[in-house]
Structure 1
Amino acid sequence: MGETILITGGAGFIGSHMVDRLVNEGFKVRVIDNLSSGRLENLKHLGTSIEAMIGDLKKPEDALKAVDGVDAVFHFAANPEVRVSTTNPETHFNENVVATFNLLEAMRRRGVKELVFASSSSVYGEPSEIPVGEDAPIRPVSVYGASKAACENLIHAYTRLYGIRAVVLRYANVVGPRLRHGVVWDFMNKLRTNPRELEVLGNGTQVRSYIYIDDAVEATILAWRKASDAFNVFNVASEDWITVDEVAKIVIETMGLKDVKIIHKPVAHGVGWLGDVKKIALKIERLKALGFKPKLNSAQAVKETVLGMM
């Protein structure tokens, strides 16, 4: 095949699974990761079949070195913790917006013309109705969501000005092996510490869509291969949604626990923290038009994740 692909954040959760898929398909893969949330052990099974670079996209020279000689970039480097943006908004500005700008500039200077970007359903904020389609208003309520929206707009400008073709993927909650953040990971850690009690941030009625990592990777590859416009946006999710209390029940049952006391800890309007949203679920008709169909629904994705992390 001969093509070389750069995966930023390739030692992270979604990024490392993208590395696996692209290596298996015969691509040459280069990874750059600053290891702020990624872990080299996610890549160790690949040995010398990939080029791993410890570097930081917040440094323009690292971004230039990373894109040198590559044919396409899968940009998954970001700080994934939405809650961080409440207490330390500068983190998401630097790790998401500055890093993305430096990457785009490096691509422009080195003539790299293909970009796949990991965005987030958080760009929609608190929609009035669910599920939301890709044409819904962008009204983020967290700095994390705002940073992803800013990145999308930067990317759009670069597609218009410099001939880059971009595929933007607005992921719902992606779960599966190697997960190190989010509600499933959080619940499992709490229950390992105290199997008799589980604290749930929010009132438990918050609604989310969960997609298993294998489905998310398949959707990403499909969108990359089949999207034809200069700037393409796709929601990536399962076709249903469940509440946080339902997630808690699945985690408890799958871990084989009984008589667990659930304690809700809501802040304003029942959410778990400032910047959290009450309900978010995504329409995936655009992806389905390309031939995508998720193999697991939200509940199955959560259960499979717990089984794989036990």
Structure 2
Amino acid sequence: MSEPTILVTGAAGLLGHAVRVLLEANGQRVLPIDRVAQTEEGQPIVACDLSDVHRLHALAVENRITGIVHCGAHSGPMVARDNPYSMVQVNIVGTANVLEIARIHGARFVFCSSTSAYGNTPEGLVPEDVPLVPTSVYGASKVAGEQLVSAYSRQYGVDGVSLRLSWVYGPRRTTDCIVRTMIEDALAGRPTRKPFGRDFHRQFIHVEDAARALVTALRTPRLPRQTYNVTGGTYLTLGEIGDIVRRVLPQADIALGEGPDPVDDRQHRFDVSAVQRDLRFTPEISLEQGVRAYAAWLQNRAAA
């Protein structure tokens, strides 16, 4: 019999890659899949589109799948904005297809959700149980995914949990990220200019902390909750984040206007007491540490 294997979807992406690296560093056998077969840091990724349910089942039969970390998705409201149908097919139908693997094979299921599920939040500390009113199809797809996880748990006994991650930043991010923009501009000697954001709060989490939260959830079965907020522990304006970038890179020339990001939700500080209590998770990488490491990674990549 083959050894226990963790299926990681979206393994070529920001979070999926970090989850795979963390699992393999701890000696876990991993089946990494993504839409296109490729090699990452000398390790192969198996081609499997989330819409191809027959391919998913074939891979599950060939491997002893005991856990799933489902990171595969359109990864933010800025992605596929002109193709909501694709967002639904990938993020909702794809999640249902992977949940079927969990149901049939009795695998632990960890869903990578997002604080975009909330939409704009009420004032004050935001716990998991406030009403979800997403403002984007992406946010709605995460709500739908969470509900599927909960329904599979109630109806079929699938041991599943959803982690609502705040904005993830760090090496390998390819979609819009103002932290990366500030760093890249500073390294290139360009000014960073935005007509908004100086007083607009955003809660970032480093990719390695996000991956650690997902892996911790995978290893903690039968949790008392099915959804958890996970952030990097800060609640800063983009102006304050710019100040951190300037501390790390004194040459940074950053000027932001007043007002909210026109394509982002206005969200208040998320309550992370549940994930601290049940998963004993707290972030390990401060924003300044993360910015410093990210700047070094971007500089090395540019040099290479």
TM-score w.r.t. length of structure 1: 0.84
In the other structure, the counterpart of 1:26 is 27
CA 1:202/1:62 → structure 2, altered by over 3 Å: closer, same or farther?
Answer: farther
RMSD: 2.6
> 2:28 and 2:270 mapped to 1: Cα distance?
31
In the other structure, the counterpart of 2:286 is 297
Mind listing any 5+ residue stretches in structure 1 that lack a counterpart?
Answer: none
In the other structure, the counterpart of 1:55 is 48
SS in 1 for 2:219: helix
Per-residue CA deviation, residues 219-265 of structure 1 (Å, 9 max, x unaligned), is: 2222232352486221111222111122233335534425x25254x
In the other structure, the counterpart of 2:302 is none
Confirm or deny: 8 A CA contact 1:197 1:263 kept in the other structure.
no
Confirm or deny: 8 A CA contact 2:107 2:158 kept in the other structure.
yes
Mind listing any 5+ residue stretches in structure 2 that lack a counterpart?
Answer: 300-304
Runs (4 or more) in structure 1 with deviation over 4 Å come to 189-193
In the other structure, the counterpart of 2:166 is 172
SS in 2 for 1:115: strand
Asked if residue 3 in structure 1 is aligned to residue 7 in structure 2, the reply is no
In the other structure, the counterpart of 1:84 is 79
Match of 1:75 among 70, 77, 81: 70
Confirm or deny: 8 A CA contact 2:91 2:145 kept in the other structure.
yes
In the other structure, the counterpart of 2:228 is 234
Confirm or deny: 8 A CA contact 2:66 2:105 kept in the other structure.
no
In the other structure, the counterpart of 1:288 is 276
> 1:247 and 1:30 mapped to 2: Cα distance?
37
For residue 308 of structure 1, report the CA deviation from its aligned partner: 2.9
> 2:139 and 2:237 mapped to 1: Cα distance?
21
1:1-310 alignment to 2 at 5 Å?
A: 2-35=3-36, 40=38, 43-45=40-42, 47=43, 52-68=45-61, 69=63, 70-84=65-79, 86-108=81-103, 110-181=104-175, 182-191=177-186, 195-200=189-194, 202-229=196-223, 232-258=226-252, 260=253, 262=255, 264=257, 270-274=259-263, 276-289=264-277, 290-310=279-299
Per-residue CA deviation, residues 67-100 of structure 1 (Å, 9 max, x unaligned), is: 3331111100011132235433223212211211
Confirm or deny: 8 A CA contact 2:198 2:239 kept in the other structure.
yes
CA 1:102/1:131 → structure 2, altered by over 3 Å: closer, same or farther?
Answer: same
> 1:204 and 1:26 mapped to 2: Cα distance?
44
Figure out how many residues of one structure are paired with residues of the other and give that number: 294
> 2:129 and 2:8 mapped to 1: Cα distance?
27
CA 1:59/1:204 → structure 2, altered by over 3 Å: closer, same or farther?
Answer: farther
Confirm or deny: 8 A CA contact 2:106 2:158 kept in the other structure.
yes
SS in 2 for 1:97: helix
Confirm or deny: 8 A CA contact 1:10 1:77 kept in the other structure.
yes
> 1:175 and 1:102 mapped to 2: Cα distance?
28
Confirm or deny: 8 A CA contact 1:85 1:143 kept in the other structure.
no
Identity across the alignment (%): 29
> 1:168 and 1:67 mapped to 2: Cα distance?
22
Range that drifts further, 296-305 or 61-70: 296-305
Opposite residue 243 of structure 1, the aligned amino acid is T
> 1:201 and 1:75 mapped to 2: Cα distance?
36
CA 1:242/1:154 → structure 2, altered by over 3 Å: closer, same or farther?
Answer: same
Range that drifts further, 122-131 or 62-71: 62-71
For residue 180 of structure 1, report the CA deviation from its aligned partner: 2.1
